[in-house]
């Protein structure tokens, strides 16, 4: 049947059933229905959410409750109902999954778009699912539809794509991240996708890992600030206008022992608490609705089976009240991969008792629901545990307004989504640009008479978008979403009279001869898109074809600017010593080309700062600036990168930062730090004010410096500013005690040295105080 005709049939059927329900005096639903004395509490929008949830829960059967704990891939609702199926929604698949198995939640995994991948196509698809679910479930419970919106609504072809998180980390601009997230939420909500599997709250540690670019960086405080902003942007004030955010992947996902995705990690408790708790705590404090669990294991325990992580820590210590969701197939993995459980059914028991509220099954819903029901019936899982999980999930559905407005106005979707917030995307791309090298001030380009643009990423929309764009592993093929390539960006920002010549050939000789005839050559080099384990690397090497082109231009002794389009630092010592300039563009998204063009020609100052450490060699991984000191050894240093965390040049010059610190308010719970900086150059530019700390003596090892506050500032040429930072003293806390690392997090008494630029200042904490966690 034609998609539209089938959609119409579904709608007509739905209306007929609704009419019958109303005539038969059945429960009414939907916003169009007047609320009367007979309206159940849960359908009354004027009642508080908690009362609505309790009322509904009291009416539900065990089967219905278990369905709410189930999340399936949308592929199971279409074609032949098998996982991975494409095509139109099928009424019989929906009957099986939504009706029989009473499944309450549906997701689009990477690339799982409707056949008509447009905003309207998405809205019509989610509407059809909602209509089916609301009509066919006895209690008219809407579905929660989720998808990965990790840099914009990235499965949607035509949605504005923002820089991946690693670039947002370089921007050092949480307020901008909040705008990016709010824009993503508007797009997702307009298409009926009410739940985003974002923000990634993992802390970058090991660039061999294929998901490095999905993080905001290596520093827990930086990541915390960005995560908190993202949650606020996604969710809005109270979820009724935003989408539900997901902090992922809880916990310790990003430092697998061998650098590979979804393998084991050996992270001691102290390190977990110092490094991985803070960003999740920040997201929880910002009100995140859900948390997704880490697919890997820590210290021999898969996170999905860890009561310590999912219940004692997440609930008991961190105070999380939303719901937890497994990652892709990871409940069953406790049996099939980890052999911790003796059967699929036993795996469900382990996960649910550990604290998994919802399973991303994602394909075989029937087995999951059947087994979970039987586990409750035979007493293996208490009914109260089911109620607890379902209460959390329903609360989010009510808060999102799904019971009152289960569908969206599909006719408005294109208008809301297409071309939206391109200026935010441009600003984000601009602020993320990080200038690594600029010999003899070759940048900004002073009116060159002719310029050659070459390299594998110069005209590649897929490369500048990265993974998780349209498809899971990046854009799978034409059509490309609208975007400005680097070449186009250079062409449109080049001052008139500058001849821009594009060399698409990757033949080094061809590029070198073009370079010989031009005043300057820009090689745009990088990585091909990837996601998850497919992006793991043992080399982090520059594309060999790009390397040959770069070498050829250098051999021709021509001025060379290298623009890197990549999700991780690439091992690039030889260019770092020989190219005239290197600009790191990260994975800058839709407006990436405009941003690069503007930076090259000096219309913006590339003021990003490295959110991660840039190693000299892959053998330095894992590398991060918070390495602990060691004892002296002839050849080794604990931290010796090519470019350190926080590094980034500018077109202008800034004075050293001056710093003064004091306690503010009563007691010693807040530190006030005033940092002054001046733009001493001749151009406007952005600097980042940063305050680091080091205790003069401590009970356990501390890194030589640890970031506790930062702020990006824009300064006109000659201008001076003083930034007043208020820093909770709890940022000085450490986990004291011997190796188990299980004592209370404590701000130890003693003197602390604060650092900004090369300036220092000290404060003394007079009394040790335990803080949360």
Annotated active-site positions, please? Answer: 327
Candidates 30-38, 104-112, 331-339, 372-380: pick the segment binding ligand BGC (CB under 6 A).
104-112
Residue 114 CB, shortest distance to ligand BGC, in Å, is: 14
Kindly give, in sequence order, each residue whose CB lies less than 8 Å from that of residue 2, ignoring residues fewer than 6 positions away.
none
Binding segment toward ligand BGC, per CB under 6 A, in 105-113, 381-389, 597-605, 680-688: 105-113
Nearer to ligand BGC, 148 or 206 (CB): 148
Q: Figure out which of the listed residues 109, 283, 474, 569 binds ligand BGC, where binding follows CB under 6 A.
A: 109
Among residues 112 and 591, whose Cβ is nearest to ligand BGC?
A: 112
CA–CA gap between residue 71 and residue 48 (Å, rounded): 26
**Burial degree of 292 (CB within 10 A; 0-12, 13-18, 19+):** buried
Half-sphere exposure of 297 (CA within 13 A, CB side): 14
Nearer to ligand BGC, 216 or 328 (CB): 328
From residue 201 to residue 240, the character string flagging contacts with ligand BGC as x (rule: CB under 6 A) and all else as - is ----------------------------------------
CA distance 210 to 467: 10
CB of 147 to ligand BGC, least distance (A): 7
Least separation, in Å, of the C-beta of 191 and ligand BGC?
A: 16
The 3-state secondary structure of 480-541, one letter per residue: CCCCCCHHHHHHHHCCCCCEEEECCCCCHHHHHHHHHCCCEEEEEEECCCCCHHHHCCCCCE
Minimum Å distance from CB 157 to ligand BGC? 15
Window contacting ligand BGC (CB under 6 A); options: 107-115, 183-191, 263-271, 658-666: 107-115
Judged by CB, which is closer to ligand BGC: 111, or 233? 111
Give the three-state DSSP class for 540.
Answer: coil
Q: How far is the CB of 337 from ligand BGC (least distance, A)?
A: 12
* Residue 391, number of CB atoms within 10 A of its CB: 18
Q: In terms of DSSP bridges, do strands 499-502 and 520-526 run parallel, antiparallel, or are they unpaired?
A: unpaired
Q: Evaluate whether 597 touches 618 at the Cβ level (below 8 Å).
A: no
Q: Which residue number, 328 or 601, has a Cβ lying nearer to ligand BGC?
A: 328
By Cβ distance, which residue is nearest to ligand BGC? 109
Strand-pair category, 499-502 with 450-454: parallel
How near is the Cβ of 470 to ligand BGC at its closest, in Å? Answer: 12
CB of 508 or CB of 567, closer to ligand BGC: 567
| Min CB(532)–ligand BGC separation in Å | 6
Residue 472 C-beta: closest distance to ligand BGC, Å: 4
Q: Which is nearer to ligand BGC, 121 or 593 (CB)?
A: 121
The answer to whether residue 199 forms part of the interface with ligand BGC (CB under 6 A) is no
Q: List the one residue out of 275, 278, 274, 313 whose CA is nearest residue 293.
A: 313
User: How does DSSP classify residue 100?
Assistant: I
Question: Under a CB-based contact definition with an 8 Å cutoff, are residues 518 and 501 in contact?
Answer: yes
Binders of ligand BGC in range 112-131 (CB under 6 A): 112
**Which DSSP string corresponds to 169-183?**
HHHT-HHHHHHHHHH
What's the CA gap between 234 and 320, in Å, rounded?
17
Phi, psi of 590 (to 5 degrees): -55, -45
User: Would you count residue 164 as binding ligand BGC (CB under 6 A)?
Assistant: no
Helices (H), 24-163: 49-59, 62-68, 91-94, 119-136
Size of the site for ligand BGC (CB under 6 A): 11
Minimum separation from the CB atom of position 238 to ligand BGC (A): 24
What size, in residues, is the chain?
A: 773
Q: Is 678 left (phi over 0), alpha (psi -120 to 50) or beta?
A: beta
C-alpha–C-alpha distance, residues 253 and 249, integer Å:
6
Strands of the 264-265 sheet, one edge to the other: 264-265, 297-298, 301-302
Q: Which is nearer to ligand BGC, 216 or 601 (by Cβ)?
A: 216
Shortest separation between residue 485's beta carbon and ligand BGC, angstroms: 26
- The encoded tokens of residue 317 equal 């210590």
Output 328 or 752, the one with its CB closest to ligand BGC. Answer: 328
Q: In the bound complex, what is the minimum distance in angstroms from residue 108's beta carbon to ligand BGC?
A: 8
Segment interacting with ligand BGC (CB under 6 A) among 61-69, 103-111, 118-126, 347-355 = 103-111
643 forms beta bridges with: 614
d(CA 548, CA 37): 77
Among the residue ranges 109-117, 222-230, 592-600, 680-688, the one whose residues contact ligand BGC (CB under 6 A): 109-117
Whichever of 532 and 734 has its CB closer to ligand BGC, that residue is 532
Cβ–Cβ < 8 Å for 591, 484: yes
Look at residues 705, 567, 731, 612 and name the one whose alpha carbon lies nearest to residue 217. 612
79 vs 681 by CB, closer to ligand BGC:
79
- In this structure, what token pair is assigned to residue 341? 């459980």
CA distance 352 to 771: 30
- Interface residue with ligand BGC among 88, 101, 148, 605 (CB under 6 A) is 148
Residue 112 or 546 with smaller CB distance to ligand BGC: 112
Which one among 67, 110, 121, 466 touches ligand BGC, defined by CB under 6 A? 110
Residue from the set 111, 355, 474, 685 that interacts with ligand BGC by CB under 6 A:
111
Candidates 132, 145, 162, 197: give the one binding ligand BGC (CB under 6 A). 197
Please identify, using beta-carbon distances, which residue of 213 and 692 lies nearer to ligand BGC. 213
In the complex, the smallest distance separating the C-beta of residue 533 from ligand BGC, rounded to whole angstroms, is 8
Interface mask toward ligand BGC for 240-259; x: CB under 6 A: --------x-----------
Closest among 614, 239, 154 to 425, alpha carbons compared: 154
**Cα gap 199→485, rounded to integer Å:** 26
Report the alpha-carbon distance of residue 201 to residue 276 in Å, rounded: 9
From 106-114, 594-602, 615-623, 700-708, span contacting ligand BGC (CB under 6 A): 106-114
- Beta strand residue intervals within 65-116, DSSP E: 70-73, 105-108
CB of 328 to ligand BGC, least distance (A): 4
Q: Retrieve residue 226's tokens.
A: 């960005």
Omega cis (within 30) before 153: no
Q: Does 327 bind ligand BGC (CB under 6 A)?
A: yes
Kind and range of the H or E run holding 759 = strand 759-765
The Cα–Cα gap between 81 and 721 comes to: 61
d(CA 550, CA 552): 5
Q: Which two tokens stand for residue 184?
A: 């993503």
Distance CA 550, CA 575 (A): 8
- Of residues 516 through 535, those in contact with ligand BGC by CB under 6 A are 532
Sorted by sequence, the CB contacts under 8 Å of residue 564 that are 6+ apart come out as: 525, 526, 570, 572, 582, 583, 584, 585
Question: Which are the contacts of 478, defined by CB distance < 8 A and separation ≥ 6?
Answer: none
Q: Which stretch binds ligand BGC (CB under 6 A): 110-118, 222-230, 625-633, 651-659?
A: 110-118
Residues 535-564 that bind ligand BGC (CB under 6 A): none
Q: By CB under 6 A, which span of 108-116, 230-238, 706-714, 741-749 interacts with ligand BGC?
A: 108-116
Q: Find the binding residues for ligand BGC in span 454-473 (CB under 6 A).
A: 472
Could you list the residues that contact ligand BGC (CB under 6 A)?
Answer: 109-112, 148, 197, 248, 327-328, 472, 532
């Amino acid at each position: 049947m034609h998609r539209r005709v089938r959609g119409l049939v579904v709608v007509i059927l739905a209306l007929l059933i609704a009419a019958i329900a109303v005539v038969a005096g059945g429960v009414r639903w939907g916003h169009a229905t007047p609320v009367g004395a007979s309206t159940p509490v849960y359908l009354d929008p004027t009642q508080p959410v908690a009362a609505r949830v309790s009322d509904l829960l009291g009416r539900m059967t065990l089967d219905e409750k278990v369905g709410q704990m189930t999340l399936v891939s949308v592929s199971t609702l279409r074609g032949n109902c098998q996982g991975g199926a494409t095509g139109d929604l099928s009424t019989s698949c929906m009957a099986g999954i939504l009706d029989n198995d009473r499944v309450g939640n549906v997701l689009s995994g990477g690339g799982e778009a409707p056949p008509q991948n447009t905003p309207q196509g998405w809205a019509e698809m989610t509407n059809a699912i909602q209509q089916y679910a609301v009509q066919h479930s006895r209690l008219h419970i809407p579905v929660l539809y989720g998808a990965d919106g990790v840099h914009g609504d990235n499965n949607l072809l035509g949605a504005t794509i923002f820089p991946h998180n690693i670039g947002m980390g370089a921007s050092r601009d949480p307020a901008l991240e909040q705008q990016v997230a709010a824009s993503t939420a508007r797009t997702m909500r307009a298409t009926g996708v009410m739940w985003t599997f974002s923000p990634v709250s993992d802390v970058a540690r090991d660039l061999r890992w294929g998901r490095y670019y999905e993080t905001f960086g290596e520093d827990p405080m930086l990541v915390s600030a960005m995560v908190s902003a993202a949650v606020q942007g996604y969710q809005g004030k109270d979820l009724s206008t935003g989408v539900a955010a997901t902090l992922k992947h809880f916990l310790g996902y990003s430092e697998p022992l061998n650098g590979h995705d979804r393998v084991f990690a050996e992270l001691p408790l102290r390190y977990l608490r110092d490094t991985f708790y803070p960003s999740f705590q920040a997201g929880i404090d910002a009100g995140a609705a859900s948390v997704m669990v880490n697919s890997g294991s820590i210290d021999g325990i898969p996170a999905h089976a860890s009561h310590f992580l999912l219940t004692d820590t997440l609930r008991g210590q961190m105070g999380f009240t939303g719901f937890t969701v497994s990652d892709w197939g990871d409940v069953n993995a406790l049996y099939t991969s980890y052999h911790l459980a003796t059967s699929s059914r036993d795996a469900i028991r382990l996960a649910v008792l550990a604290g998994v509220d919802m399973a991303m099954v994602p394909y075989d819903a029937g087995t999951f629901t059947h087994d979970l029901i039987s586990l409750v019936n035979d007493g293996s899982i208490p009914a109260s545990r089911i109620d607890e999980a379902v209460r959390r999930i329903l609360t989010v559905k009510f808060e999102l307004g799904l019971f009152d407005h289960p569908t969206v106005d599909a006719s408005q979707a294109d208008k809301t989504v297409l071309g939206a917030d391109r200026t935010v995307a441009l600003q984000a791309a601009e602020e993320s640009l990080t200038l690594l090298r600029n010999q003899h001030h070759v940048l900004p380009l002073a009116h060159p008479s002719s310029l050659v643009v070459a390299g594998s990423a110069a005209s590649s929309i897929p490369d500048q978008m990265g993974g998780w764009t349209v498809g899971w592993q990046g854009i799978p093929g034409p059509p490309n979403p609208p975007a400005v390539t680097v070449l186009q960006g250079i062409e449109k920002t080049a001052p008139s009279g500058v001849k821009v010549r594009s060399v698409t050939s990757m033949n080094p000789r061809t590029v070198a001869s073009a370079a010989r005839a031009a005043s300057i050559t820009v090689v745009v080099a990088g990585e091909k898109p990837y996601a998850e384990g497919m992006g793991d690397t043992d080399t982090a090497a520059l594309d060999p074809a790009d390397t040959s082109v770069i070498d050829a231009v250098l051999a021709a002794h021509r001025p060379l600017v290298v623009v890197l389009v990549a999700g991780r630092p690439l091992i690039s010592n030889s260019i770092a010593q020989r190219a005239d300039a290197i600009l790191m563009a990260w994975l800058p998204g839709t407006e990436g080309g405009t941003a690069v063009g503007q930076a090259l020609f000096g219309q913006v100052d590339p003021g990003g700062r490295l959110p991660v450490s840039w190693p000299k060699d892959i053998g330095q991984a894992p590398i991060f600036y918070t390495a602990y000191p060691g004892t002296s050894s002839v050849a080794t240093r604990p931290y010796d990168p090519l470019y350190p965390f926080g590094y980034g040049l500018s077109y202008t010059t800034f004075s050293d930062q001056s710093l003064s610190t004091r306690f503010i308010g009563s007691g010693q719970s807040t530190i006030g730090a005033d940092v002054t900086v001046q733009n001493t150059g001749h151009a406007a530019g952005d600097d980042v004010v940063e305050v680091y700390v080091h205790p003069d003596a401590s009970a356990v090892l501390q890194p030589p410096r640890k970031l506790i506050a930062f702020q990006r500032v824009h300064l006109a040429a000659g201008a001076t500013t003083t930034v007043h930072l208020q820093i909770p003293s709890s940022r000085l806390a450490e986990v004291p005690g011997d190796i188990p690392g299980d004592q209370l997090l404590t701000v130890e008494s003693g003197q602390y040295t604060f650092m900004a630029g090369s300036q220092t200042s000290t404060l003394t904490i007079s009394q040790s105080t335990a803080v949360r966690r």
